[in-house]
Structure 1
Amino acid sequence: MTIRKRLKIHLLPFTVISSGAVIFFMEQGHAASPPPVTPDTGRRQPISAQTPPASAKGSHLQKKEKIPSNSEVIMVTGTHIANSRIKSPTPISSLSQSEIQNQAPSNNLADLVNQMPQFAGSTTPQNSRLSLSSGLAGINALNLRNLGAERSLVLLDGRRITPSAITGIVDINTIPQQLVKRVDVVTGGASAQYGSDAVAGVTNFVLDKTYTGLKIDGDSGISDYGDGINYHTAVTGGFGFAHGKGHVLLSGDYAHQDGIYSVDRPWNFNGQRIIANPEYASGNGQPYYIRVGNAGTNYALPGGIINSSTGGVTNSLRGIYFGQGGSVNHYNYGSLSTSSVTVGGDHALANDGKDIGLEPMSDRKNIYGRLSYDVAPWMTLYGEGSYNQSEYIYNAGPQYLSAIKLSGSNPYLVDALGSSALQNVSSVTLGTTALDLPYRRTDNRRSVQRYTFGGEGNFTLFGKPASWNAYAQYGVMHSKEQIYNVMNTAKIANATNAVRSSTGQIVCASSLTDPSNGCSPID
């Protein structure tokens, strides 16, 4: 559980007139939330109130009402059709601005969107921390119906966004959350309009492009265990000029999350694991997997454990492990043992579950700006840009070297076990967590920038309202992934292939033919 404190400040909207004076206005809709609007008004309802009242059902079939001149005309996501009524051939779910402001964590809009039932299996910083080769580490990416984030298109004001990874998916953290006034989700038929990357559907984030005023959000939190400190601040401002013809928007935010680099929690003290159920058989009603306590890794221990041996009596040395000071012990495999996990017995010797990171360290900076100007009644020109920078650092835990092959004549092995124990043994396979070596660590840095220039407007064509929209967009993404303290398997193989030289010293076998290769044997 995380304890959070939140501060939110909303200042009055204002405008600048030609004399240089500043006029403040009461901001509409802040005093009280408007009542839900039925589908006949043409406005989307929040997802908590999508069912119209009984009196409204079928009303659009009984009478063709005249649409008021001041009704809101929206662009229907998934159709590109502007309409003051929701008449979309595909189902649309929406999050309203009030829902976003009241329910969304101030530094993570994706968490709120992922609560909608259409989303499953979305990518988060927690479950993507080791997604290195694809560049997804630390990303918040939406996944509609668990069909894959690469098949779920994300739009901003109906336009595609610069991808945040080589797979083409978008990090929701790059969207200016304070300016989002609506989120539309289309889950059917979107590929016909947008292409194959919208097979699962489309999520469109609609910004409040005419926001006027200044608002400041801030929050901080800490876990019940005194770690995982996090804080976030965001500032957004907007004002009009030239008697309302022009409008300026600027939004920025910064978020930081301390990493939790070990699973030091009571629920993990007794070694919780999910293992294959030994009682399972097809049709017997038993679950395939079961959860067990007092379980731990049995194939890799801090000092090393012999998992197999060849020559002589096969696996005669299995279970011998080396403790502190080089002591030789026999591992207790407990009441239940698989190829990788022991229940009971010496399960606590590995203790590896506590050394893996629970939460990555994250640091995120975003800035967004927009300028628009009405050059004519039928033309508005605009330009907008954004820059996003993020870094995620994760502790991947100790090294797992589970298949180190040692010769039966390895001098370190002979000194520890004695020549009689190794009689006729040709080789052994050793597993270790190598706690004397640095832990593995990942560092993922990403920057995304986007620049858009365009125009839009409304006009009358043959006596009927029409609209136009054109834009050009440029975006670039840079990603840098670094993995620290990863073993070089070739060098490990050389270092563990130890022999005695003619002088009686223990050296690497490769050094006999190349004394200058810099190899040092590992005990």
Structure 2
Amino acid sequence: MMLRHSVSFAALGAALAFAAPAMAQQAAADDHVSKPDAADATPADGDILVTGTRILRPNIASAAPITTVTAQDIRAQSPTNIEEVLNRLPQIAPDSQQNYQDSDGRQRIKLRSLGFERTLVLIDGKRLGTQNGEDAGIIPVSLIDRVDVLTGGASSVYGSDAVAGVVNFVLKPDFKGIRIDGNYNFYNHQNRANIVTQQAQASSFPTNTGMVNDGGRADVTLTAGTSLFDDKLKVSGFVNYKHQDLVPYDARSTSACQLVQTGTDGPLSCSLSSYSVSGYISPRSGANNGTAYVNNPDGTRSFVPYGAGAGNAANPYDGYSYQRAFTRVNAGGFATLKLSPAAEIYGSGIWFRDKSTNRFPTRVFAAANYGSDPYQVNCNNPFLSASQASAICGAAAGTATLAPLDVRYRFNVPYLTDTYVNSAIRATGGVRGKIGDAWTYDVGGVYARNQQDYMPASLPQFANVNRSLNVVNVNGTPTCASVVDGTDKNCVPFDAFKAGNSNQALVNYLYSGLAAEKQTTVGILYDVLANVTGDLGKYGIKSPFADQGLAFAAGVEYREDRQFSTANAAFRADNGGSDADLRQHVWEGNIELQAPLVQHKPFIEELQVNAGGRLSKYSSNPDKFTTWKLEGLYAPVRDIVFRASFNKAQRAPTVVEAYQASNISYSRQGGSQNDFCAPVPRQIADPANPGKTITTTAPLASKEVCRATGLSDSLYGSATLLCPNDQCTVRSGGFTAAPETAYTQTYGIILKPRFVKGLVFSVDRYRIKINNSLGYNDDSYYTDGCLRSNGDPFFCSGIVRAANGTLYAAAGTNPTSGFIRAGTTNYYFSIARGWDFQSQYALGLGKVGRMDLSFNGSLTTFAGGQDSPLQPERNCAGYYGNGCGQLLPKWSHGLRATYVTPDDGFNASFNWRYVGSLTSANNSGDPAIGGTPDRVQKTFGYIAPVSYFDLALTFNIAKRYSLRLIANNLLDKAPPILANSYNISLARNNTIPARYDSLGRNLAVGFTANF
């Protein structure tokens, strides 16, 4: 297959002639800097296993860039979650599962912002678990020796899903003794007035200013290990407990309300909700039919118009979780039994359970949530004042007549919660060894099971709400009519006509009789693999110009992925859907070759070629897949090292992607857009009066665009095209998801000048292009694409009209026409390009100590893709909005300086994290991402670069005890503020919490005690 987007094979050969190796450097457990190219482990015979290859041999070199985070780096951060460690690496798309409401709590890793499905996560060189069920929360932070991040693709070594690269967590081996690790950290933040607080105060919402100390997080680990029988048997184990306190949105001035802006430069306001603590009432008959009222916030039984104002409209997100409350328990054990140099039995097991919650106000929901029937209230209800009864019932006020109305009420009682319980077990085992001087083998496997139990908050029962509104006077006591007539003796009267209801007994009744909703999703991985490595140089098979000979690794693997989900009847009643049991398996075989061609010769210190290939056969696809790599290493002298790596991978869809593509389901979508060929009222600029707007009912799309969707000109603008309730039919699925094909290139140079002892610097260029990229696209992908492209058939073909031109059909009829497509499919190209820069410098200070410096920076030059053959490439590097969800600044870096005393008794580590600027795609000047002159924003169009500074002080006492004092975001920098943040970051807290330190300064104290 031609490398259409990259280099020719002639150029490939030329690159290999001028490529060079970076000598791998072993990362010790207490290293103070990140290593540009670190090894995985150093077995007893001096062989080294490097992430990215399975070949074992001394002095092995890495042809692909590897970034390593050491245990010392991790301790200097005092992290509670793995994602906090990885968020600081420019190569990884930041995530913040504990900082936004829609999260399910699982921690997933996304290299190059290409998705977790394309990032392979390993523990000690073996898979963490199934891709869809993966949760890196199982990895105990305190036991990590280091984290190796290999970017640029490793599919031929580990599997076709390593398209973007590999993240390998190396745990501390062979622990002896007893160790206790503990950390406690919290946020210490100065809330300052800002544009959000101004809008919140204008909406009469309370605001929080001044100093706050909150969000406490505790983490303690007990580790124990020993060796027996002359170190032949080694066993160790650990138990870890973590707890994190809630931080609600209203605890920060920057999230006092959700800031919204209409248009590109419209007025600012706060999101408002009719679910007010004062209570929203709207009659559904008579003269006031449809009028929106709230109970007077002053407590009198009178109605005032619904709208902004104290106690009137509510802040819907004030109590949402900015930092979710969670608890986690983690435990595990490791064992090795060395029978002989040729046979070592190994095994491990890790288990965890994580519980986190999302908060929601306790409410009575609008009747429309249950169907078309309104609630009913009796017109002689004792809670109604005369004026309220007249407004709702008219002439029937004071009678037993039942009047229809809508009620929405937020109670002053504890919040309801969505609860997520994530649990997993991962077990490994096998036998490995070394046979003679030339051969090693490893036969083993992984079993991993991840389970998520999702228990959402339910709606109160419609019947109970209705009964609680039908209240009569019994001897001066308001009593449910259903209690009087005996149909429901448990009914509690609902006073919906006065502000500030905090009746917990009423809430308990409204929600009584509901079965707890629960959905369970389980992902299971069975992975069996056998690998053998050989150093054929021991048999004299080598180049006459090299000291080392040909080396190779070969392996076979069987892997089965399964995911099944079930839900109880209560969950299905509220949320729909159906149970599923998905699975696929794959047989794979791989081989790697490492061929040193010239070593230690004039002008050629090292010249080496590496190659690898993998053949995969997935049960879900009739064809076999091939992946390969070709690498070159060249060092003219020891000080200068060049390298190049080329990878090709074909990735099959995961079991979930395959199901999402093929399974057909129907829903109603469209909102105010409706059918863009229908006459929907909208505001447009008045051509006769600049600065003014007029209302038009002309279709949003042109006649030519509508014709491209299959609509006849005679129906253009016809009201018959209007979808019922503005909701057109969306059909998800019905596709065949084909494998995607990825090509990855990296070119690099490493400098290790002898005249600057201790300095290593590397720079690497990466280019990734994914053909027939797999991904999920909702209905707007097709409608917006069809509009934006002026009728491109690639997009417009996703709008499938019925014979009468409509885009709706009766639910459950499984129509073959009359819908907008959605779902997982192949959608052309995904592209990632950029440069990585890494450096380390160990500076000896003589009797004063030493200074260790490390630098890791990334320049992203392209992040995006091409949606169709007729569309231009969409480059989202440095932009946000308009579908640019990568949120990747063009430049970001981390620079850490660590001073260590001569006796290692004290060290001080200072870290500078730099996040480059981000610009609204509207202001990009690139029409491909919506940067047209009419869309330029004057407000919220730019996020300035941000620098964060961290300080960690470590005191080592008698080589047995360690005390750490840490300040992350030392200067307490507040996050940048964005209007409409949910459309940008899926967070309603007016920022991008995954990218920025959104909760302020974090102070930590940690200790380690060894016994």
Normalising by the smaller structure, the TM-score range is 0.5 to 0.7
Q: Specify whether residues 239 and 496 from structure 1 end up closer, same or farther in structure 2 by C-alpha distance, changes over 3 A only.
A: closer
**What letter corresponds to residue 292 of structure 2 in structure 1?**
R
Q: 2:435 is matched with which residue? A: 459
Does residue 122 of structure 2 align to residue 155 of structure 1? yes
CA distance in 2, matches of 1:85, 1:120: 29
Q: 1:252-401 counterparts in 2 under 5 A?
A: 252-260=239-247, 263-267=250-254, 271-277=256-262, 280=263, 286-287=264-265, 292=269, 295=270, 297-306=272-281, 309=284, 312=287, 315=290, 317-323=291-297, 325=299, 327-331=301-305, 333=307, 342=308, 345-346=309-310, 350=314, 352-399=316-363, 401=365
Q: 1:49-448 counterparts in 2 under 5 A?
A: 50=36, 73-82=47-56, 84-88=59-63, 90-101=64-75, 103-105=76-78, 107-127=80-100, 131=103, 136-137=104-105, 139-162=106-129, 167-170=132-135, 172-195=136-159, 197-212=161-176, 214-224=178-188, 225-260=212-247, 263-267=250-254, 271-277=256-262, 280=263, 286-287=264-265, 292=269, 295=270, 297-306=272-281, 309=284, 312=287, 315=290, 317-323=291-297, 325=299, 327-331=301-305, 333=307, 342=308, 345-346=309-310, 350=314, 352-399=316-363, 401-403=365-367, 405-407=374-376, 410-412=379-381, 415-419=386-390, 422-423=393-394, 427-435=404-412, 438-448=414-424
Q: 1:43 is matched with which residue? A: 25
Report the Cα offset of residue 156 of structure 1.
0.7
CA distance in 1, matches of 2:293, 2:391: 17
Q: 2:969 is matched with which residue? A: none
**What letter corresponds to residue 459 of structure 1 in structure 2?**
I
Residues 297 and 347 in structure 1, CA contact (< 8 A), matched pair in contact too: no
CA distance in 2, matches of 1:480, 1:332: 39
Report the Cα offset of residue 418 of structure 1.
3.6
CA distance in 2, matches of 1:389, 1:229: 20
CA distance in 1, matches of 2:223, 2:477: 70
Instruction: Give the TM-score normalised by the residue count of structure 2.
Output: 0.37
**What letter corresponds to residue 253 of structure 1 in structure 2?**
N
- Structure 2 alignment gaps of length 5 or more: 1-19, 189-211, 369-373, 397-402, 496-1011
Report the Cα offset of residue 162 of structure 1.
4.5
SS across alignment from 2:85: helix
Q: Specify whether residues 513 and 214 from structure 1 end up closer, same or farther in structure 2 by C-alpha distance, changes over 3 A only.
A: closer
Residues 43 and 85 in structure 1, CA contact (< 8 A), matched pair in contact too: no
**What letter corresponds to residue 258 of structure 1 in structure 2?**
D
SS across alignment from 2:74: helix
**What letter corresponds to residue 62 of structure 2 in structure 1?**
K
CA distance in 1, matches of 2:53, 2:395: 76
When the two structures are aligned, how many residues end up with a matched partner?
432
2:426 to 423, 443, 450: 450
CA distance in 1, matches of 2:344, 2:292: 77
Does residue 495 of structure 2 align to residue 495 of structure 1? no
- Structure 1 alignment gaps of length 5 or more: 1-37, 53-67, 281-285, 334-341
1:296-323 Cα offsets, whole Å, 9 max, x none, are 52422113123675654664x3244344
**What letter corresponds to residue 248 of structure 1 in structure 2?**
V
Q: 2:832 is matched with which residue? A: none
Residues 259 and 359 in structure 1, CA contact (< 8 A), matched pair in contact too: yes
Q: Specify whether residues 310 and 378 from structure 1 end up closer, same or farther in structure 2 by C-alpha distance, changes over 3 A only.
A: same
Report the Cα offset of residue 468 of structure 1.
0.9
Report the Cα offset of residue 192 of structure 1.
5.0
Question: As a proportion of its length, which structure holds more strand?
Answer: 2
CA distance in 2, matches of 1:241, 1:499: 76
Residues 406 and 496 in structure 1, CA contact (< 8 A), matched pair in contact too: no
Report the Cα offset of residue 111 of structure 1.
0.8
CA distance in 1, matches of 2:447, 2:353: 17
Q: Specify whether residues 307 and 155 from structure 1 end up closer, same or farther in structure 2 by C-alpha distance, changes over 3 A only.
A: farther
CA distance in 1, matches of 2:143, 2:389: 72
**What letter corresponds to residue 50 of structure 1 in structure 2?**
P
Residues 309 and 318 in structure 1, CA contact (< 8 A), matched pair in contact too: no
CA distance in 1, matches of 2:484, 2:394: 25
**Which consecutive aligned stretches of 4+ in structure 1 deviate over 6 angstroms post-superposition?**
44-47, 68-71, 503-514
SS across alignment from 1:251: strand
Q: 2:698 is matched with which residue? A: none
CA distance in 1, matches of 2:391, 2:348: 78
SS across alignment from 1:168: coil
Percent identity of the aligned residues?
Answer: 24
**What letter corresponds to residue 487 of structure 2 in structure 1?**
P
CA distance in 2, matches of 1:489, 1:514: 19
**CA RMSD across the alignment:** 4.3
Report the Cα offset of residue 146 of structure 1.
3.7
Instruction: Give the TM-score normalised by the residue count of structure 1.
Output: 0.67
Bigger Cα displacement from structure 2, 296-305 vs 418-427:
418-427
CA distance in 2, matches of 1:193, 1:248: 30
1:108-146 Cα offsets, whole Å, 9 max, x none, are 34311121122225352333x654xxxx33x33323344
Q: Specify whether residues 458 and 255 from structure 1 end up closer, same or farther in structure 2 by C-alpha distance, changes over 3 A only.
A: same
